[in-house]
Amino acid sequence: MRLNVNGNSLEIDADPDMPLLWALRDIAGIMGPKFGCGIAACGACTVHIDGVPVRSCSLPVGAVEGEITTIEGLSKGGELHPVQQAWLEEQVAQCGYCQAGQIMTAVALLDEIAEPTDEDIDNAMGGNLCRCGTYPRIRAAVKRAAALKTAEL
């Protein structure tokens, strides 16, 4: 089967029941999305399909239609995406394992709501678990990213 990932069309030889996460990681070698729980409970595996954040650990690869974006596809021409830039400036990550998923969810949130409140952020990001407790900095970084995106326009 063919998958469109980060603007590339990839031929994937996988059981259609295999979750998208493992097709990306083990078959395509795209390691940004992380395995955390396998039951869509932690958000570490979050990728976009046509801009919508989905849990790739629980989505059979055979059921995927549309353009997949992973954290590797966010930055364009060597420039960090404003959300990544904000994460860097706020020094959000600790162990960093959940952060690809956090960033993908935040990107989708900001595409939906340009200037989210704390409540918007809490609602949108509640499915992304962080065991290091980076939540206060995530809130700050989402707001900084919103400002960076506005400045870009």
Partner 1 sequence: MASIGKIARRTFLLGAAAVAGGVAVGYWYVSRPYENPLEGEVAKGEATFNPYVKIASDDTITVIAPRAEMGQGVATTLAAFVAEELDVTLDRIKVEHGPASYAYYNAEMLAESGPFNFFDDSFLAEMTRSALGTVGKVLGLQGTGGSTSARDGFEKMRQAGAATRAVLMQAAAARLSLPVAELATENGRIVHARSGRSVSYGEVALDAASIAPPKSVTLRDKKDWKLLGKTQQRVDMHDKVTGAPIFGIDVRLPDMLYATVLISPVFGAKPVKADTSKAEKMSGVIKIVPLETVYGSGFGVIAKNTWAAFKGAEALDVEWGKPVNPADTDGLMQVIADAATKGEGDVMRNDGDVETAFADAPQAQLIEAEYRVPYLSHAPMEPMNCTAQLKDGHLTVWAPNQMPTLIRWLCADLAGVPLEQTTVHTTYMGGAFGRRGEIDYALYATLIAKEADGHPVKVTWTREEDMQHDCYRSAFIARMRARLGDDGLPQALDLRVAGQSMMASLVGRIFPGRSAPGPDNTTTDGSHNQPYTIPNYRVTGIKAPLTLPVSFWRSVGNSQNGFFHESAMDEIAHAGKTDPIELRRKLMREFPAAVAVVDKVAAMSNWGEKLPEGKAKGFAFVLSFGSWCAQVVQIAQTPGGIKLEKMWIAVDVGTALDPGIIEQQMVSGAIFGLSAAMNQKITFADGRVEQSNFHDFDAMRIFQAPQFEVAILENYHRMGGVGEVGTPPAAPALANAVFALTGKRVRSLPLSDEVVFA
Report the distance separating Cα 105 and Cα 121, nearest Å.
Answer: 10
Tokens describing residue 131: 């065991």
Residue placing its CB nearer to partner 1 in the complex, 78 or 152:
78
To the nearest whole angstrom, how small is the minimum distance from the Cβ of residue 96 to partner 1? 3
Give yes or no for residue 140 binding partner 1 (CB under 8 A): no
Q: Please, what is the Cα angle at 53 between 51 and 58, to 5 degrees? A: 130
Choose, by CB under 8 A, the member of 59, 92, 107, 145 that binds partner 1: 92
Residue placing its CB nearer to partner 1 in the complex, 29 or 77:
29
The interface with partner 1 within residues 67-86 (CB under 8 A) comprises 70-72, 75, 80, 84
Give yes or no for residue 35 binding partner 1 (CB under 8 A): yes
The interface with partner 1 within residues 5-34 (CB under 8 A) comprises 14-15, 18-19, 22, 25-27, 29, 31-34
User: Which residues of the chain form contacts with partner 1 (CB under 8 A)?
Assistant: 14-15, 18-19, 22, 25-27, 29, 31-39, 41-42, 44, 70-72, 75, 80, 84, 87-88, 91-100, 103, 121-123, 125-126, 128-139
